[in-house]
Amino acid sequence: MDKWLFTCDGYSFIPNTNNSLEATFNDLKTKLRNYNGLSKEHRKMFINAYLARDYER
C-alpha cells in the first residue's frame, strides 16, 4: 500500500468526514438564494463576511 495515501491519519485535529464543511457550504448557498438580487461584488462581500463569521466560531 502507498505510504502517502493516508498521511492525515497521524493528526487528531483533522476530522474523519467533511460533513461540517458540507453543512457550511449548504447554509451559505441557502442564504445566497434568499438574496438573489445581489450584484457580483456584493455577493463576494457577503461570502467573505459569512466565511469570516463562520471561521471565528
Is 18's pLDDT higher than 90? no
pLDDT, tens digit (0-9, with 9 covering 90-100), for 36-49 = 889 999 999 999 99
Whole-angstrom distance, CA of residue 37 vs CA of residue 40: 9
Looking at the domain assignment, is residue 7 inside a domain? no
Looking at the domain assignment, is residue 6 inside a domain? no
Looking at the domain assignment, is residue 31 inside a domain? yes
**What mean pLDDT value characterizes the chain?**
85
Looking at the domain assignment, is residue 13 inside a domain? no
* 42: containing domain: 19-56
Amino acid making up residue 9 = D
**Quick one: what percent of the chain has pLDDT higher than 90?**
47
Q: What domain count does the chain have?
A: 1
pTM over 0.85: no
The pLDDT value given to residue 44? 95
Looking at the domain assignment, is residue 5 inside a domain? no
Looking at the domain assignment, is residue 8 inside a domain? no
Looking at the domain assignment, is residue 50 inside a domain? yes
Name the residue with higher pLDDT: 56 or 19. 19
Looking at the domain assignment, is residue 46 inside a domain? yes
State in Å, rounded, how far the first CA of the chain is from the last one.
38
